Amino acid sequence: MPFLFLSYFKQYEINSNNHSIMDIKVEKLTKNYGHHKAVDDISFEVKTGEILGFLGPNGAGKTTTMKIITNYLNCEQGDIIIGGKSIRDNAEELKKHIGYLPENNPLYLDMPVIDYLEFCASLQGVEKSKIPERIREMVRVCGLNAEKHKRIGELSKGFRQRVGLAQAMIHNPSVLILDEPTTGLDPNQIIEIRKLIRELGREKTVILSTHILSEVEATCDRIMIINNGKIVANGTAETLRKQAQGQEILTVKIEDGDSNAIFKAIQELPTVGLVDFTDRNLNRFEVQSRPGCTSRREIFNLCVKNGWILTELAVSEAKLEDIFRELTVN
Partner 1 sequence: MNNTTTKYFKNMNSVWIITKKELNSFFDSLIAYILLVLFLGFSGFFTWMFGSDIFLIGQATLRPFFSIAYWSLFIFIPALTMRMIAEERKTGTIELLLTKAVSDRQLVLGKFLAAFLLICISLALTLPYVITLASIGNVDNGEVICGYLGLALMSGVYIAIGLYASSLTNNQIVAFLSALFIGLFFHIIFDILANNFKGSIGEFFNMLSLSNHFESIQRGVLDTKDLVYFLSLIFLGLFLTENNLAKRKVNG
Residues in contact with partner 1 by the rule CB under 8 A? 33, 38, 64, 67, 70-74, 76, 92, 95-96, 98, 100, 102, 104, 106-111, 115, 119-120, 122-125, 167
Smallest gap from residue 193 Cβ to partner 1 (A): 19
Closer CB to partner 1, 109 or 261, in the complex: 109
Rounded to the nearest whole angstrom, what is the least distance from the CB of residue 121 to partner 1 in the complex? 10
State residue 134 phi and psi, 5-degree precision. Answer: -65, -40
As a whole number of angstroms, the distance between CA 225 and CA 52 comes to: 10
| Pairing outcome for strands 51-55 and 205-209 | parallel
Question: Residue 109's CB: how many other CB atoms inside 10 A?
Answer: 12
Q: How far is the CB of 169 from partner 1 (least distance, A)?
A: 13
172 torsion bin: left (phi>0), alpha (psi -120 to 50), beta (else) = left
* Smallest distance from partner 1 to CB 177, Å: 8
CB-wise, 71 or 289, nearer to partner 1?
A: 71
The DSSP output letter for 76 is -
Instruction: Kindly tell me which of 67 and 222 has the beta carbon lying closer to partner 1.
Output: 67
In the complex with partner 1, the residue whose CB is nearer, 65 or 283, is 65
In angstroms, give the least distance from the CB of 92 to partner 1: 6
CB of 91 to partner 1, least distance (A): 9
Q: How many other C-beta atoms lie within 10 A of the C-beta of residue 120?
A: 23
Return the closest-CA partner of residue 116 out of 147, 157, 85: 147
Type of residue found at 153: G
Helix (H, G, I), strand (E, B) or coil at 254: strand
DSSP states of 14-34 as a string? HHGGGPPP--EEEEEEEEEET
For partner 1, the closer of residues 16 and 122 by Cβ is 122
Which CB atom, from 68 or from 200, has the smaller least distance to partner 1?
68
Nearest-angstrom CA–CA distance, 41 and 30? 5
End-to-end CA distance of the chain: 44
Cα–Cα dist 82/88, whole Å: 11
Q: Which is nearer to partner 1, 98 or 327 (CB)?
A: 98
Residue closer to partner 1, measured from CB, 36 or 280: 36
Residue 236 C-beta: closest distance to partner 1, Å: 29
Strand 24-33 and strand 36-46: the pairing is antiparallel
